[in-house]
Amino acid sequence: MKKIVAIKLILLLLIGIGFTNCTDPYKMETNTFEDALVIEATLTNIMQKQKVKITRSYRLEDSAPVFEEGADVYVTDSDGNQYNFVQDNNMYISTQAFQPVPGKNYELTIITNDGKKYVSSKEILPASSPIQDVTASVQTIDGKRGVEIRAKSFDPSNSSRYYRFEYEETYKIVSPKWIPLKAIITGPESIEMVPRVGETRTCYSTDKSTDILLLNTNETPEDRVDFPVRFISDQNYIISHRYSILVHQYIHNLHAYNFYKALKTISDGSGNVLSPNQPGFLSGNLKCVSNPNEKVIGFFDVASVSSKRIFFDYTDFFPGIPLPPFKVNCNELSMDFCFQPLNPFCDGPSVMAYLNTNLMAIYEYENAPVYIMVPTPCSDCTSFSSTVIPPFWQ
């Protein structure tokens, strides 16, 4: 999520400062770039080592942002306490664990290695209203049946109001065309079936949310949350076996909420910053003290966060119904393993090429030299996922 937000912010800067001719992409590359500091910093009410990420905006033709090295980073609170951060693996991490507490304000200061000083506004920890439940149920939305996942909470003090949600989903994968043997190339025109080494049938993948999910309860009589975080089609392979989702509920102040709302509007609600909505540079709560005219991208946020995880199996909601289609089409392909150039039915060179590039795997070999082949993911989940069982799995 943080990476997606950063990309949106960077692209917004490139667009907002000089998008004068939408029919000429080369001007976008050469004339509209402005170097700017990009800051991602959210302190949460969890006792932990807090993190701040600092990068530079980058051109559209570049592959990734450049991490800002050698900065002096610290947070101060209204009691005069200072929390220092040190550079660690493209991130700045606090040297000690701490958590913002109610009643104090917090300020972020960054001094880059060229001597420029950046300071945030003073931010206060919003009210805390822990997420109470995450539910999953079968629903039909826009004509599609699937599982809808909702987050629920309630603040009787009516002081939370501004919510943002993120999630991490983890799912079990079972390769549908797995066999215990694997083909290896033993010569220019020969292969051998040998036992597989290690687990290749069952894997686990984790994906993080990318959309900006916001809720404002100001227009409701109660500060009650019943928010649809995720909808998964019953034809999506990620719920074929066991699925888990960890939902994070953030409570922001109004300023932070409006920042995320504007960012969501700019991205057109679908990750598309190149949308008809182009309001220009999105101002956050950070400024360059050394040069007040310099643009700074990002927002220093102090938020209350709580999380809850649930698990379910496909059969919990769709008993007796066939599993969804797999990640890729697992149609079988019969190939004759022979090498006669004038014989149009000989597929030996193709079989060797498929095995050498790991594009396909042998699924049936008992009638060799005729082999049944399938795309490699259908036979070996490690081609796109991991066999490491998550520590929280159950």
Number of H helices, E strands in the chain: 6, 23
Is 209 found in the same domain as 199?
no
Confidence at residue 24, expressed as pLDDT on a 0 to 100 scale: 45
- Angle, CA 244 vertex, CA 241 and CA 247 arms, to 5°: 155
Is 81 found in the same domain as 30?
yes
In a domain, 391, yes or no: no
- As a whole-number percent, the residues of the chain with pLDDT over 70 amount to 87
With a CB cutoff of 8 Å and minimum separation 6, the contacts of 298 are 6, 9, 37, 38, 39, 40, 41, 284, 286
Is 219 found in the same domain as 200?
no
Q: How many domains does the chain have?
A: 3
Is 265 found in the same domain as 286?
yes
Is 268 found in the same domain as 223?
no
User: What does the pLDDT average to over 94-104?
Assistant: 96
Question: Could you report the per-residue pLDDT of 198-251, keeping only the tens digit for each?
Answer: 999 999 999 999 999 999 999 899 999 999 999 999 999 999 999 999 999 999
Confidence at residue 265, expressed as pLDDT on a 0 to 100 scale: 86
In a domain, 359, yes or no: yes
In a domain, 313, yes or no: no
What is the span of the domain harbouring residue 353? 181-204+323-383
Cβ–Cβ under 8 Å, residues 147 and 139:
yes
Longest dimension (CA), the chain: 85
66 confidence band (pLDDT: 50, 70, 90): confident
In a domain, 310, yes or no: no
In a domain, 372, yes or no: yes
Confidence at residue 63, expressed as pLDDT on a 0 to 100 scale: 65
Is 373 found in the same domain as 265?
no
Question: Could you report the per-residue pLDDT of 252-295, keeping only the tens digit for each?
Answer: 999 999 999 998 888 764 444 433 444 456 778 999 999 988 98
Full-model pTM: 0.85
In a domain, 311, yes or no: no
Is 289 found in the same domain as 261?
yes
Average pLDDT, the chain: 89
Is 137 found in the same domain as 61?
no
Confidence at residue 282, expressed as pLDDT on a 0 to 100 scale: 73
Residue 153 to residue 307: CA distance in whole angstroms: 11
Is 236 found in the same domain as 167?
yes
Is 141 found in the same domain as 107?
no
Residue 36 to residue 55: CA distance in whole angstroms: 9
* Cβ count within 10 A of residue 259: 18
Residue 8 to residue 154: CA distance in whole angstroms: 31
Residue 69 to residue 40: CA distance in whole angstroms: 15
In a domain, 258, yes or no: yes
Question: Could you report the per-residue pLDDT of 100-119, keeping only the tens digit for each?
Answer: 999 999 999 999 999 999 99
Confidence at residue 19, expressed as pLDDT on a 0 to 100 scale: 37
Is 38 found in the same domain as 98?
yes
Query: Helices 254-266 and 2-16 meet at what angle, rounded to 10?
Result: 70
* Cβ count within 10 A of residue 21: 12
Is 349 found in the same domain as 216?
no
